[in-house]
Structures are given as structure tokens and as C-alpha cells.
Chains A and B, each alone.
Chain A
């Protein structure tokens, strides 16, 4: 193909140039050329004065040209689509790294490259947010209609049939009151009645997986990592059953358990007992990881921080203590209430902790800074608390279940929703990835609809409610391979990715502590024994003194050098500060 460049090259004559045939792409170029020439002509004199300005203008022009189509129209939305700032903020993981000193070229290049990739990943993730298929639910009242007055029946009537079917009651008055647990994907429900009744249900299809009576009192039930196994805290010991109701293990090391928490990424089952023991069981290998006596009496208030896998325990003296399996003592002790703590819960980002106590108060804490944020007075006090994925708080007071919205951001006066169940509420949990709140009470189980509670978009590789058997197996293998060791449980889970800036001194101190002696300590000088009378007491003393003097000289030399350096830097600083010489300088030493 003939290109304009080639045509120019081909014309061999020096004299009059033969014009190549006009093409539409030529026009643009010519115009550009003209522009440049004009500019050069105009700026010829000024060029030296304002080269930067011309450069800028040139840049602008080229940019404008780039946005132009061949037809001459300009792109009304140039560049990549903008991303809202708050959405970018959602995916921000770290602050920018301070660039190292000049000279460290490779390090600077590496850091620049990693920053660039981080930025790109952040932007891509933020852009991907647009493609998420589902939106969160909501509930709005009409004019002067409180959302808390809307009954569950009305909501169930208003929504589609499948969602309406998620509001149901199970009347189980014989073996109640009931504790409950949803598994991680939110598909399966485990019910444990006080008088020994255990049932696991695929609650969305309402299929009963198994139902047994353990013929003992039950204090808590918990799913393990998958819906294949669950743990039941019975009167004396801890039992593990499979989904068909077959007893797999009876763990006699764990006795009188009152509450349990399962840490899914660590495969740890944490139990709190009436004998004030906090124990950790590694369910992947079946070993007890840690057992600590908290010495605080009966432990019947427990929750986990899903952000850092720290266990929160509430005590009868009004304190909440934070525990990890690596430390014999509590990581943190907080005095939260006057009177005993009745319930504790932590939100999924690990930022807020909500507690309720015997003093009929509901308090919200910032758990990262250990500061109280809000305090509410509930006339009857809340016996159970639960937080949903999107931050709705449910509180059970007697037989009334109330749901609150935004308890930490703005002061709340009215509940978002309220519902009366048939008996006293005993257990409370939001179903993950669904707008459903499960309430276990004296007369069975109630599944409530709470619009806007659940996270609408799940991640298929983490917790997929629709996974097939094969996907589940694959997930299980991967989860086991990525099991986090209990030693890595800390208050700040991202600590592992940060540079440990411990100074040499600090590390040395730790080493001394670990070893029990100082490996770098200077050995005490012991004079060699010399024969033929040369090791007389006087001689030894003399030799000792020689060495001592040598050391002394080193110290003095060092201090003199330091002084000199200090003096120099001081002088420089002074001269740089004042700049000019003053008349009084001559009196300075």
C-alpha cells in the first residue's frame, strides 16, 4: 500500500515537489504540521522564555488529537471510566510505601513495580464490583409507618413465594429451649434442644438430614468445617456426630462445655466450660491445641472475632476478655458493664463489638482502639445478640426479637424490626448470605425474614451455597491445605505481611531472655597462669590493670569522637539556621 511517507521518499527531484494524491489521513497530518509551523513561527522569539508552556500546549494538543475520531468528532468521555473513590477505598489494603533513599536503585524499582501492580489490582477489583449480580434487600415503610410495626406475615405475603417460604415456625415444645447454628454457606441448620433433641435440616428445601435424641442435656451445638460433621456439647462431654446422626467421637478431655465457637480457617473448635476452662481442639488432626483456665468462673458468654480469630469471653463481673491459643493470659481485659455480661458479638470486619449486660445496657465498642462508641439502654436488657454480614444487630429481650440498624454510626432510637416469638429466645443467629434470622426459643424454632441482613454476593471459592458435591470436596481439600496454624492468631492478622522493624537491641534482648545469658557479653579477663613466679599477686593485678586501661581508652576514644561529631553537626546546624554572621559570633567559643 502506498503510504504518504513512501511517496515523499520516492520523489527524487530537488526542484518543485510533486504533490502526492490527497488522502483523508493526510489532511489531519498537514493540519498538525501547519499548527506546529505556526506555533514555531510565533514562539520563535519566545521559545527560550517559555519552553515549558509550549511543551504543555503541545501535549494538550496531542491529547485533543488523540481523542478525535477520523470523522472529526471528539470522544465525549475520554480515557478509562472513572471509579468512585469509596469503591476504591473498599479494596484498599495498605498505604503507599515510603520510597527508600536515593541510590538504592533496584529496591526503588521493585517498590515502584509492586505499587503499580497493587494499584492495578485495586482498580480491577473495584471495576469488577459493577458486575456483581445481586443487590441487597431493603424494607421501607409508607409515610408515618414504622418499619418495626410491619409484621412478618405482611412481609412474607409481599415478597415472592420462595422468599416467603423462608418465614416459618417449627413447633418443638417437647425438648426446648433450642440452640441453633447455621453452617458457613448458610444452607444447613443445626438445632439442639436443651432436653437432648438434635436435628440438622437443609432448611431451604426443608429436608431433614437427621434427627436424634442424645438422652442428655445439651448446652450448645456447632457445625464443623462442612455440613458433614457437627459438635454437640452435652451434659458431661463433647461429642462429634456426622450428618447421619452417627456418633464419631466422644472427647472426654472436654467436659462441662457450655459454649463453642468454630474457627473455620484454623480448623479449631474453641470451647468454654462451666469450670472456667477455655480449650481449643484442632478438628483436622483431633488434638487439643491449648487449654487455659481463665479463673473467672462459669463461662457461658462467648463469641469469636471473625476478622482475627480471637475469642471473646464475657464474665459475670462485667469484663470481656480476649483470648488467643498462644497465650496463657487474656490478650485484653475490658470492663464493659456494671454487673455481668449477658452476650457479646463482633462484626465481620472485626471493627465493632456489641455487648449487653445485666445492667440492661447495650454497648458498642471499637475493638481495634478498645474505645466505647455508643451506649443504649434497653428496658428489659438483651439476652442474646447477633450481627449480620451487613451490620444489622438482632437482640432478644425475653420473647421479643428486635433488629437494629446502624448501631455504631448514628444513635438509634427505634428498632428496624421487631417480632414476638412463642417462648423465651435461647439462641439467635443470622443466616449467612440470606435475609433470614433464625431464633431458637422455648417453643421450637422461628426463621424470620429480615430484609437487608445478608451479604448479597457470595464468593464461590470461599463459601458457595450452591456448590456441588465435587466442588465441596475440592474446597475441603484446599481448605485443609491452607489451614492456618494456631500460632498465627494475633490481634492484627496482617502483621505477618509487615516488615518487622525490631531494632537490633530489641532482638538482642529477646535473645538474652530466650537463652538465659548474653551471648555477646564481653568475657571477663582472666590472666593466664604463668610459671616461674611470674604469676604473683602483684603481677596478676598489673596485667588486669593493663587490660582495664585498654578498655578505658577505647571508651574514652569513642566518647571523644562522639563529642567531636556532635560539635560539628551542631555548628553546621547553627550556621545553617542563622545564615549570616552576627556581631556577637566573635564571643562564641
Chain B
């Protein structure tokens, strides 16, 4: 007779001393783990619920301005430094880790219209309603010194926007025309005009650094090459664009915020129709900024909310609002991809988390593993109706909720009308116009 009976040595399964970690023998045989799918689903559901529980995006508000915040600038080298300019011509420099203002300077008379930090991070430019461009040192003046600009350029007309070249000592301003300036000179090295209009925003391309784009008040977006004497091309839309931002990773894409409540992502090469139309705002969109990963962007709107969109998503994945936040005028995505800064009419700058449910600070390895696992589960079960309902739910202020409902009804009725017209007219006489094509009037070269 040969016999063997299961006989486990407890020493193999129990830790030796209290200082050891517990032993957990594993066996991945699927028959030992029944209801795999169901349990995973429950875990996914729990993770989704917890995400909503922990979604507390608002971190802090930086107050100190005595008028609405009109523009902001990220520091190119330091993560914790932020510059903001207000409508009374005051510029403040903030330390974000300490959440306090470290320097205040009266830069202009009237609005501070534009502000940009040079690529080396040692100086910054401001421009304002007093028709001047001022260059400032990043460091605060020493004891007894007076706060005064390094350089002041007096222009003929008001400048409304400002951007600095990525690599060279060149910056661009916009006003009645788009000017390219050398840092060493007091007259523009080049001026671009195309019809009589005024420009509201100018931005350098972060990769093809000689390219520029600007938004004009005649509802057009104009592209320039700095090396040429004339603009490249422009696209005219049905409504005016306020600002635009280049995608830092795929720099042939840019997104513009429009007065018609939408944002449009264009491919620079095919301006005939936008690549994506981003809807959800219920009022004019005032500012837009891309995340450094180029996968998402944030938009600020006159409807007192900021929204986060995926770069190819038609609708926002997130909406932030508070009771006290008024019309949001400027917004920035921090360079470490973790925070969003918004400046609004009621003189405050607000700091938000880019990912509302993210835990700040250092994660323990187990914690990180658990987070990664729940992220994956959420992704896997995102289309289950229960999970989707919870993940999509957002609280909106009453008026915005009603307005979005109203807009939806209006859009549906317009669509219905178009459908009916198409249906009851001679085949071929009424062309079908897609949503993306509707907003572009023409492209001029």
C-alpha cells in the first residue's frame, strides 16, 4: 500500500517572527476564484463611487488683487512661481507652495493686457493699456532700490497680447497689427497686417518655433511665419475667437476658444474644417490652455465655470465651479500637469487639481498599486450603465444646468429642421453640412 495524505508544515505558511510580514501563498487557479467578473465589477463600482467621494478639486484661492485678474503667466523654469496682472495695472508674483504673494509692482496705468516670461526665466514682459511694453527683472529689487522696469518701449497703439519666442530673444505683440520685436531694439523688426482689424491674442508655436498664430476681431485666425514678410493663411469663422493655444506635443494642432460657446481644435494644415468641436460651455469661452502632456486642455468661460476637455473629446470630462467664482478670464495648466490656475473677475486666483480625485503628496507603493488597479478597473467597466452613471454625474449650478438644457433643445430643434429640409427638398439640392463644417466661413491664403 502506498499512501500520501496532505500534510502541511505550518512553518511554511506562518511568519517566523513578528517582525516579518505575513506569508500569503497564492494559487491563481480560476476554479478557486469563483465570480471573478462579478467581484471585479463590484470593485470597479466601488472605485468609481470612491472617486466621486474624493473629488475635491479646489485647493486654494490667492487673493490680493484689487481688481479683476486679466492675465497670468507661468514661470518657464520654476514650478512654484506664478505671475498675474490685474485690470488696475498691478502685477503680482505668487509663491504657490506658500500660497502667498511675494512681490507686487504697479506696472501699467489701466489694464495689464499681456504678460510673458522669457525662455530663460530671468525676466518678464508686460504690456498694458498705456501703450507700453515693459521688461522687468524676475528678482525683486534690493533694499532701497526702486521698482522700475529694465526697459520700456513706447508704442503708437494699444497692445492687447504678448508672447515670447521659445528659443530666441524675440517676442511678438498684437494690437492693430502683429509685431515681431527683437529684445535689443525698440522698434519692431516686422509687422504683419491683413485687412483692417485688431488682434486679441498671439501665440508662438512651441515646436516649429518660427510659426505664430493670432486671433483677429474680424472672426479670423491668422497664421504667420516669422521669416516671411506676409502672413501665411487665415480661416474665417462665424464668430470671433478670443484666444488660442498650441498643443505642446502635437504642435500642428491648436485649439481656439470662441465666442459661440464652443472650442475648436484645428489642424494647422487643414483649416477648412476643425478636427474637433468641443461643446459644453453655455457662454463665451475666454481662455484656453493645454496640459504639458498635450492630451487635455482647460478652458475658462464667461459662464463662471472652467472645463477640462480631452484633446479629441467633443464634450468635457470635468467641470469646476464655485459659488463665488465670477466670469473666469484667464486659465493656466501648471507645468507639472497636476494643477490648474484660474483668474477671475472677482480679483481671485484659484488653484485647482487637474485630476479632481487625485491624492496629493507622496504615495506609498501599496497605495499607488491600489490606485493603478482601480484606474484600470474603472476603465474596463466604464461602459456598464451603473458605473457610467456615477462617473458622469456632476453637480452644476442651477442656471448653468438650465441654460445647457435650453441650448440642447435649441440645437436639437435646429437639427430637426435641417433634417426636414433635407428630407423634403430635391435630392442633391440641399447639401448635408456636418457640425464641424458649419462654423467655418472660408479659408484665405
Contact = CB atoms under 8 A, between A and B. Distances in A.
Interface of A: 90-91, 93, 125, 128-129, 132-142, 145, 150, 154-155, 158-160, 162-163, 166, 265, 306-309, 348-350, 433-435, 449, 451, 454-462, 464-466, 468, 470-471, 481-485, 488, 493-497
A350 B30 CA distance: 12
25 contacts: A91-B29, A91-B30, A133-B12, A134-B8, A135-B4, A137-B5, A139-B2, A139-B4, A162-B7, A163-B5, A163-B7, A307-B34, A348-B31, A348-B34, A435-B5, A458-B25, A460-B23, A461-B24, A464-B13, A464-B25, A468-B22, A484-B35, A493-B37, A496-B37, A497-B37
Most buried by A among B14, B30, B32, B41: B32
Contact of A142 (B1, B23, B32, B384): B1
B434 interface: no
Nearest to B22: A471
Contact of B30 (A90, A133, A163): A90
Given A139-B3, A455-B32, A494 B14 contact: no
Nearest to A434: B6
A155 B1 CA distance: 9
Nearest to A167: B5
A459 B2 contact: no
Most buried by B among A166, A265, A350, A483: A265
Nearest to A309: B35
Most buried by A among B34, B41, B46: B34
B429 interface: no
A449 B7 CA distance: 11
A129 B5 CA distance: 20
B35 A134 contact: no
**Chain B interface residue count: which class?**
35 or more
A483 B35 contact: no
B1 A145 contact: yes
Contacts of A458: 25, 27, 32
A482 B39 contact: yes
Nearest to A484: B38
B52 interface: no
B37 A494 contact: yes
Contacts of B8: 134
A225 B384 CA distance: 29
Contacts of B24: 460-461, 464, 471
Most buried by A among B2, B27, B30, B40: B27
Contacts of B38: 265, 484, 488, 493, 496
B323 interface: no
Nearest to A136: B6
Contacts of B25: 133, 457-460, 464
B28 interface: yes
B10 interface: yes
A154 to B, nearest CB: 7
B42 interface: yes
B190 interface: no
B37 A482 contact: no
Contacts of A134: 6, 8
Interface in B193-245: none
A451 B26 CA distance: 23
B166 interface: no
Contacts of A160: 5, 7
A142 B1 CA distance: 5
A138 B46 contact: no
A376 B428 CA distance: 76
A420 to B, nearest CB: 19
B33 interface: yes
B2 A140 contact: yes
Contacts of B33: 459, 462
B43 interface: yes
A166 B24 CA distance: 25
Most buried by A among B5, B35, B39: B5
B30 A483 contact: no
Contacts of A136: 6
A154 B5 CA distance: 13
Nearest to B39: A482
Contacts of B46: 481-482
Given A128-B26, A159-B5, A458-B25, 10 more contacts: A91-B29, A137-B3, A142-B1, A265-B38, A348-B31, A348-B34, A454-B6, A481-B46, A482-B39, A496-B41
